[in-house]
């Protein structure tokens, strides 16, 4: 079974080991417990839309195979299902729910135009090509309606996927982040100093030294 915590720059560090310590307060524990307990079945997207989103996420934030995967599509689906939003939208962009549905339908339409199949069934290279063309505003299928492919890519697709990825504790362990600093806070604020409860990064190639420190974090 894959490890829960990654073993890259912060070997042996698992942010969830802080759960019952003074590093996290009750509200942080509640929010993270709810996030980890989300059902894998979509509640906002249709099954086909969800499968397309999973394929997109695999290209935008590819994940290593040696640790538990972050359920990016589930997190995006939950955000939309629960009605969370930015509170604003750029000129010409539909509301978030509408933009996501329209964008995923349009991407599948573009995939059928170019390759006679749905986006999720294409090769990685063909998927990357379509996403790159979306970013360049070079997609023209009528399913986009009045929404700019480039605007959808920048303000919704890439943004929401990346934010979902880094909202998950596995990503926090990956980048050595301890989660919200309430109530403990930080003491050592100078350059290249770490508090004892912060993750230790590998330095000078000494993986075991970082691992020993992270056992005690």
Same domain, 58 and 137: yes
Same domain, 31 and 88: no
Burial 199-208 (b: 16+ CB within 10 A, else e): bbbbeeeeee
Asked if residue 191 is part of any domain, the answer here is yes
For position 2, what pLDDT does the model report? Answer: 56
Asked if residue 141 is part of any domain, the answer here is yes
Asked if residue 112 is part of any domain, the answer here is yes
For position 6, what pLDDT does the model report? Answer: 52
For position 167, what pLDDT does the model report? Answer: 96
Same domain, 66 and 103: yes
Same domain, 106 and 192: no
The Cα 108–Cα 100 span in angstroms is: 12
pLDDT digits (tens, 9 = 90+) for 199-213: 999 999 999 999 999
Give residue 184's domain range: 15-36+170-215
Residue positions counted in the chain: 217
Same domain, 177 and 141: no
Same domain, 194 and 103: no
The Cα 134–Cα 122 span in angstroms is: 16
Same domain, 96 and 182: no
Q: Please count the structural domains in the chain.
A: 2
Asked if residue 5 is part of any domain, the answer here is no
Asked if residue 75 is part of any domain, the answer here is yes
Asked if residue 70 is part of any domain, the answer here is yes
The Cα 213–Cα 182 span in angstroms is: 22
For position 16, what pLDDT does the model report? Answer: 94
Same domain, 74 and 157: yes
**Sheet strands (E) in 8-97:** none
Same domain, 152 and 64: yes
Q: What is the DSSP string of 69-86?
A: PP-HHHHHHHHHHTT---
For position 7, what pLDDT does the model report? Answer: 63
At 35, is the secondary structure helix, strand, or coil?
Answer: helix
Same domain, 145 and 80: yes
Same domain, 162 and 131: yes
The structure tokens listed for 88 are 């604003």
- pTM for the structure as a whole: 0.90
Asked if residue 19 is part of any domain, the answer here is yes
Same domain, 58 and 159: yes
The Cα 85–Cα 199 span in angstroms is: 32
Asked if residue 8 is part of any domain, the answer here is no
Encode the chain (217 residues) as per-residue pLDDT tens digits: 455 555 689 999 999 998 998 889 999 999 999 999 998 999 999 999 999 999 999 999 999 988 889 999 999 999 999 998 888 888 889 999 999 999 999 999 999 999 999 999 999 999 999 999 999 999 999 999 999 999 999 999 999 999 999 999 999 999 999 988 888 888 888 888 888 889 999 999 999 999 999 988 8
């Amino acid at each position: 079974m894959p490890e829960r915590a990654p073993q890259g720059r912060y070997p042996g560090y698992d942010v969830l080991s802080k759960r019952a310590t003074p590093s996290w307060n009750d509200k942080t524990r509640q929010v993270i417990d709810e996030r980890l307990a989300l059902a894998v079945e979509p509640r906002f997207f249709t099954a086909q839309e969800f499968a397309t989103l999973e394929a997109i996420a695999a290209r935008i934030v590819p994940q290593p195979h040696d640790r538990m995967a972050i359920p990016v599509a589930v997190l995006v689906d939950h955000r939309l299902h629960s009605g969370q939003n930015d509170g604003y939208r750029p000129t010409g962009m539909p509301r978030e729910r509408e933009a996501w549905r329209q964008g995923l339908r349009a991407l599948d339409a573009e995939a059928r135009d170019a390759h006679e199949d749905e986006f999720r069934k294409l090769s990685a290279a063909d998927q990357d090509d379509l996403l790159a063309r979306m970013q360049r505003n070079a997609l023209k299928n009528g399913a986009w309606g009045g929404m700019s492919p480039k605007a959808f890519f920048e303000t919704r697709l890439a943004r929401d996927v990346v934010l979902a990825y880094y909202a998950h504790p596995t990503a926090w362990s990956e980048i050595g982040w301890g989660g919200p600093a309430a109530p403990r806070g930080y003491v050592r604020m100078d350059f290249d100093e770490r508090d004892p409860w912060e993750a230790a990064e590998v330095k000078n190639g000494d993986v075991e030294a970082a691992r020993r420190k992270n056992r005690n974090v």
